[in-house]
Structure 1
Amino acid sequence: MAQASSVSPLDVLLERSSTGDLVAPVPQGEVLARILSAGLRAPDHGHLCPWRYVVIAGDARPAFAGHVVAAVARQEPDAPEKKREKRRRRFSETPMVIALGMHLRPEHKVPVMEQEMAVAAGAMNVLNALHMEGFGGVWISGRFCEDRSLLSQLGLEAPHRLAGFLLVGTPEKPERAHVRPDVGDHVAFWDGQTPVTFGADGRQR
């Protein structure tokens, strides 16, 4: 009989960190579907389902990288060539890219900010699911994500927007042990009378 693992799901989550050093393989088929399904389990006030994921992989990557570079040129005309080439390289060489589309409904009673937060929560669920399945990822964004021509390629006509991209693959190197903030600096227990204070706030002054 196989021994049960002594590592809990929470232990696995606490080990997660972002990494851009990614190689093949990438999640595919049912594994990819399950990972993206985790994104759809995020809190969603009003059940608006604002998540729109666009997967870019294989031979589609260089073509999409061209659209990204053009968007950078339009949104940041003063950006150095080195920055544009960095974008081209990342989008054409990263094994998989997942665009984080936001299908927004400004006319709805649920505030747009809450709709955006649902997309952000979904993105974090996807990053956690990638990690739990043995893959890695990093969430990137920038002014180029506001480019309407680029958004049209992703099926995101106004007022819909983009929360950025997840770069996805298998970590090329063992994940480094990142020093995390002390949880005690970011948590307070209200006593029912006096306003709380946070240790982190004092350190940032």
Structure 2
Amino acid sequence: MHNENTSKGVFNTPNPKTLDLLLNRRSVKARDMVGSGPDKETISQILQAAMRVPDHGKLAPWRFIVLEGNEKEKLGDLIAEALQAENNASETVAEKMKGYATQGPVLIIAVFSPSSARPIPIWEQWLSAGAACQNMLVAATALGYASQWLTGWASTSRHVAKGLGLCEHEQIAGFMFLGDHPEEQPTERPRPEFDKQVYFGFPEA
């Protein structure tokens, strides 16, 4: 399962196609994904890429829960239960929200799991978790699969977190949906203007 180059200690091999992928990657709405999505071996490759991110202190402040098939329906039930428990939502609203978890073929729950083993600021650990999620999107695209990173109310619910076995200090960083590409490819969305976001040189006072 390990990449042959990295297992031999060959790193940072130039690959111009990677830049093209980064400049053209586009999220696909989970509800539009088709097919069965990546198999277990491919999911493992995507997660290996997720774990090769900057990680100050080597704390690995993230972990992942993979849900497929009926397991996603269990999450849907948990979300509905949480809505009623925390928000006093009606049964109708709660029932509708069950579909959130079953939008795409495969769901990887990225869990932010900070560590106090070393004095690394919490915000740096959050950045590492975010990088892991981004690596998943890039890896999935590189392997020919559609992907989308979602958060929303369920990602902050302690009822949902507890139901997934998260500890008190852990939090859901994202619901990462993976699947096959739909027949219609996604269109481009508005992007920030380069000159408004980038300044070359030391900023003037």
C-alpha separation between the residues in 2 aligned to 1:112 and 1:152?
21
Separation in 2, partners of 1:31, 1:144: 27
CA pair 19-72 structure 1, distance change in 2 beyond 3 A: farther
How many Å apart are 1:86 and its aligned residue?
A: 4.4
CA distance in 2, matches of 1:182, 1:98: 32
Aligned to 1:113: 123
Match of 1:137 in 2: 147
Do residues 50 (structure 1) and 61 (structure 2) align? Answer: yes
Per the alignment, residue 34 of structure 1 pairs with 45
Q: Size of the alignment, in residue pairs?
A: 187
Question: Identity percentage over the alignment?
Answer: 27
Note if 1:68 corresponds to 2:91.
Answer: no
Q: 8 Å contact 2:62–2:114 — kept in the other structure?
A: no
> What is the SS of the residue equivalent to 2:21?
helix
Aligned match for 2:194, one of 176, 183, 194 = 183
1:126 partner letter? M
In structure 2, the residue matched to 1:157 is 167
Question: Could you tell me how far apart the structure 1 residues matched to 2:116 and 2:80 are?
Answer: 29
The runs of 5 or more residues in structure 1 that have no matched partner are 1-6, 196-205
Does the CA-based 8 Å contact 2:147-2:178 persist in structure 1?
A: yes
Q: Which shifted more, 42-51 or 159-168?
A: 159-168
2:112 match: 102
Letter in 2 for 1:102: F
Residue 137 (structure 2) pairs with residue 127 (structure 1): yes
1:8-34 CA-to-partner distances (Å, cap 9, x unmatched) read 221122111222121223111322111
> In the alignment, what sits opposite 1:17?
26
Q: Normalized against structure 2, the TM-score is what?
A: 0.81
Greater CA drift, 143-152 or 11-20: 143-152
Secondary structure at 1:122 match in 2: helix
After TM superposition, the structure 1 stretch with the greater mean CA deviation from structure 2, 138-147 or 94-103, is 138-147
Q: Is contact 1:76-1:144 (8 Å) kept?
A: no
Query: Which segment drifts farther, 112-121 or 169-178?
Result: 169-178
Per-residue deviation, 1:40: 0.4
Task: Name structure 2 gaps, 5 residues minimum.
Answer: 1-15
Give the deviation of 1:107 after TM superposition. 6.6
After superposition, what is the alpha-carbon deviation per residue over 1:79-121, rounded to whole angstroms, capped at 9, x for unaligned? 8944x44431131342111111111125741111211111111
Supply the distance in 1 between the matched residues of 2:129 and 2:161 (Cα, whole angstroms): 16
- Change in Cα spacing, 1:86 to 1:127, as seen in structure 2 (3 Å) is farther
